[in-house]
Amino acid sequence: MKNTTLTFIGGGNMAASLIGGLIADGWDPACIQVADTSTQRLQQLAEQFAITTTTSNNDAAEHADVIVLAVKPQAIKSVAQEIAHTVSQQQPLIISIAAGIPAAALGNWLGKSVAIVRTMPNTPAMVQSGATALYANSCVSEDQRSVAESILRAVGVAIWVDDEAQMDAVTALSGSGPAYFFLFMEALQAAGQQLGLTENTARLLALQTAFGAAKMALESDDDAATLRRQVTSPGGTTEYAIHTFQEGGFETLVCKALLAAADRSRELAEKFGSE
């Protein structure tokens, strides 16, 4: 599997993160190729990873077993149509990391019989701590599912969904989710400074507390609600803070925020994925 010929079309940060994770996981750099319009970016990637690069999408797609479409949503239609003939001849597995683009739209541009896996990775993939949901169309074989999962697991957790409509919820939760935690850490730091801590002390305490809480949750068999109750002593400081959050409508606000993100995900899918 790790000798599979893999082509990235688009050499941005997410592509670089996946390439780095794959090579660290044992993937042969000689089997990885990147196509991008920026020769400067290609030079950087070639020097960093010792991979093959090209400015031609069709050349990159010609001998690939797997093609990862790592371009922005507004560019994916033109890229897909550009390589459609090559894809129809080679029949590679297509993995799309373009947010909001439905598999059906990709199939319309690339060909109805093309095996397509739509994914939604998030930015922590850049530090091999990502969370990615994957959806496969009916043309994807079990072996191809394994390959797609192996690629995305190189940068974190990979989870399959059976209903593509769930990808909007995935986008709202994990796709956009890192920003929510950054916002909360930002607010924690600001509040700590208001209470008299220095900027550096408040920042380090906020970041390490967020990291520690996530690590505890990942390594525990208990759910988040149980963990919260375990660290909330009756009548203590944590209980008073939690009550203040809840009295301010914290849970309702989080739900409202994710609904807004999911609605926007659907809007973007209609805009960029239209036939």
Residues 163 and 193 in one domain: no
- 47 and 163 assigned to the same domain: yes
In sequence order, what are the residues at sequence separation of 6 or more whose Cβ sits closer than 8 angstroms to the Cβ of residue 111? 84, 87, 88
Residue 167 sits in the same domain as residue 184: no
- Please report whether residue 236 resides in a domain: yes
Burial class for 56, CB neighbours closer than 10 Å (0-12, 13-18, 19+): exposed
CB neighbours of residue 39 within 10 Å: 10
- What per-residue confidence (pLDDT) applies to 1? 61
The pLDDT, as a whole number, for residue 2 is: 64
pLDDT of residue 117: 98
Q: Residue 63 has what pLDDT? A: 87
Do 23 and 101 reside in the same domain of the chain? yes
Q: Which of 172, 195, 214 is the last residue of a domain?
A: 172
Total domains present in the chain = 2
> Mean pLDDT per segment of 10 residues, for the chain of length 275 residues?
86 93 91 96 96 95 95 92 95 92 94 95 92 97 96 95 94 95 98 98 98 96 96 96 97 97 88 69
My answer on whether 106 and 230 are in the same domain is no
Find the domain containing 232 and state its range: 175-268
Please state the separation of Cα 208 from the chain's center in Å. 23
Using CA atoms, how far apart are residues 33 and 54, in angstroms rounded to an integer?
Answer: 8
Backbone φ/ψ region at 100: left (φ over 0), alpha (ψ -120 to 50), beta: left
Integer Rg of the chain from CA: 21
Tokens representing 81 are 């149509």
pTM for the whole thing? 0.89
- CB neighbours (10 Å) of residue 122? 23
Give the domain-ending residue among 108, 142, 172. Answer: 172
Q: Kindly state the DSSP code that residue 229 receives in the 8-state scheme.
A: H
Would 49 be classed as within a structural domain?
yes
